[in-house]
Structure 1
Amino acid sequence: MTQDTLFPLGEFGFLINPLDRAAHLRDDEEKLFALEGKSNSRAFVIHRDSLLLKQDGDTVRAALTIREALGFGANPGTIFLGLRDGAPYFGMGIPPAAAEKLIGRNDVLVEPLRNVASQGIVPPSELSAIATAKSMVHFHQRHGFCSNCGSKTQMAQGGWKRECPNCKTETFPRTDPVVIMLVTDGDRCLLGRQKQFLKGMWSCLAGFVEPAETIEDAVRREILEEAGIECADVHYYKAQPWPYPYSLMIGCTARAVTTDIRIDRNELEDARWFTRDDVIAMFNNTHADGFRSPNGIAIAHHLLGEWAFGSK
């Protein structure tokens, strides 16, 4: 088996969060202001789907001082993420014009978070806190106006809520549940491709959980809609926060009841059955057709790997 040294099986990205969220501090504006001014306070600065990184020679770091973040042009409004070993951590956004001015400088990088995570540019232990910052920054960027009356909203509770001063409507960060499932038929598993996938990559099927729907029902519905396969025996595997922009990937397994594939071309470019040996070859980058598994950052990689390399 080709081992992913960054993400061994069962240890995917955005999984470990060393922060104490310290929710009891969110309503204490005076205390949060004092924490922001401490010398050991740090911030993750988000630009769209990218992260600002301070570069000192060969050393790259994501946790900036507040002064560094503001010096690069980050917005002064901070989102309190929590405490790590007593040090306060914040999330900050940055205007597009300020971010664009940083491109090409030798002391800062503006790097897509997917690259930061998958290439090990920062330690895996920092990824969950960075994902929190990214999701929260996107929340504030997308909810600047009240959905009830249209008035401009204001940040509250250390960034964990927006309030409308006109009609008093409160808006909270959202998390979108998504099921991602490995469907098996004995020693075969069902994998699909979407048009935006990297060349040769195949992955587990996935889809959003709809209102008033259980996880199990969502798994069965998505597999039937996308591939025409009926399945049963749905079991929970693990969950993964996925900050694009604020999803929770709910990993599951299921057993196929039917096996004839009928592809919904609006959802998938292709879908097919793969043998266990196929998947092992995909992990080892030796598949005859050049097919490969998802990157180790993704829960799909681990669903596949634990099935392929588990007991036969």
Structure 2
Amino acid sequence: MRDAEAVTFAGGSLDRATHLRADAARLIESGEARCLALWRGRPLLDTCNGDARLAWLPVASEVFAPDAPSILLGTEAGAPRFAREVEDWAGIAEPAAAPPFLDEARTAHPALPEHLRFGELRAVMAALSPADAGNAATAKGIFAWHAAHRFCANCGGPSRIDDAGWRRSCPACGAQHFPRTDPVVIMLILSGNSLLLGRQSSWPEGMYSLLAGFMEPGETIEAAVRRETFEETGVRVGRVEYLASQPWPFPSSLMIGCRGEALGRELRLDPTEIEDALWVSRERAMAALAGLDPVIRPSRRGAIARFLIERWLADRLD
């Protein structure tokens, strides 16, 4: 697919500079070092003039706790770029027990100018530049991994951040743990002029998207596409082709986009896997993307599902 890397989150601008991670303590003292702040997984945005772009702060900004871990994201034009988390501050509300599917709130910090606000990455991903989206995805994904892997998987003891944030080491048994990415197949299943869409019960009313599912150990991409499609809808799939991939930092997946050829159209849904599925003609899919279908709400901009569907409609899959 010619423009596969135009998908959201694929365009980070930083040189990851893995050879500099052992020297992070010196780099963070550099006058050129800047830091991306994240609060509750939300990156800090500069919303001046209604825009949305990442805001890079001095590493010594008062919004950071003195002992906040610093992740070396890489360098840009030779200048170090870090990421640090911001703790809750006095007066901020507790996190919602059941957060909304899409949180569009922009939250200000009392120590920062009004135009700098924290925003949910899922809500702003389509408005960010390719570079900002990719850089934010890296920061969010690595912090999500640290939050879920605070203890050694070998002995159960507390582990510590190491290698400028790109490794956790266990002082008790010496085991080392590295960031993981969970592979997920997402399928553009076609039958003639029609596309197979499905929906989960947790999604907003009317939202339909491509089928998707996690890969299992010992499974090829093609086998995962066929298995997930059959498990969810009862549709058998023949030929499978890779199209594009997308880092998906919610919390840390790699979406592997594929095209699959359906061998039949009969649907037998598994209610534990999916709430509904339907075949949609090209004409109806175009109407849905334009907001003109009375039933179907399309997947949101920035998601690889939307990216693949738009290119199918424009005959740009090859």
Deviation at residue 51 of structure 1 after TM alignment: 1.8
For 1:96 and 1:151, the matched residues in 2 are separated by 27
The within-5 A match list for 1:115-264 is 115-118=123-126, 120=127, 122-264=128-270
Unaligned ranges ≥5, structure 1: 1-7
Deviation at residue 284 of structure 1 after TM alignment: 1.6
Q: 1:4 maps to which residue?
A: none
For 2:192 and 2:49, the matched residues in 1 are separated by 52
Q: What percent identity do the matched residue pairs reach? A: 38
For 1:310 and 1:144, the matched residues in 2 are separated by 46
| 2:119 is equivalent to residue 111 of structure 1 | yes
Question: Which AA in structure 2 matches 1:294?
Answer: S
Question: Which AA in structure 1 matches 2:268?
Answer: R
Unaligned ranges ≥5, structure 2: 94-106
For 2:221 and 2:51, the matched residues in 1 are separated by 43
197-206 vs 127-136, which moves further? 197-206
| 2:281 is equivalent to residue 275 of structure 1 | yes
Q: 1:77 maps to which residue?
A: 69
Question: Which AA in structure 1 matches 2:188?
Answer: L
For 2:47 and 2:66, the matched residues in 1 are separated by 17
Deviation at residue 269 of structure 1 after TM alignment: 1.4
Question: Which AA in structure 1 matches 2:121?
Answer: L
Q: 1:300 maps to which residue?
A: 305
Alignment deviations for residues 162-213 of structure 1 (CA, whole Å, 9 cap, x no partner): 0011100111100000000011110011000112223322110000000110
Secondary structure of 1:250's partner? strand
The answer to whether the Cα contact below 8 Å between 1:75 and 1:94 also exists between their aligned partners in 2 is: no
Alignment deviations for residues 49-94 of structure 1 (CA, whole Å, 9 cap, x no partner): 3223356676765232234644354852101111111121112122
For 1:96 and 1:58, the matched residues in 2 are separated by 25
For 1:98 and 1:51, the matched residues in 2 are separated by 19
TM-score by length of 1: 0.87
Secondary structure of 2:122's partner? helix
How large is the RMSD of aligned CA atoms in angstroms?
2.5
The within-5 A match list for 1:40-79 is 40-53=32-45, 61-67=53-59, 69-73=61-65, 76-79=68-71
Q: 2:100 maps to which residue?
A: none
Deviation at residue 260 of structure 1 after TM alignment: 0.7
The answer to whether the Cα contact below 8 Å between 2:35 and 2:59 also exists between their aligned partners in 1 is: no
Aligned residues: 299
For 1:168 and 1:135, the matched residues in 2 are separated by 24
Q: Given the superposition, is the C-alpha separation of residues 197 and 227 from structure 1 closer, same or farther in structure 2, using an over 3 Å criterion?
A: same
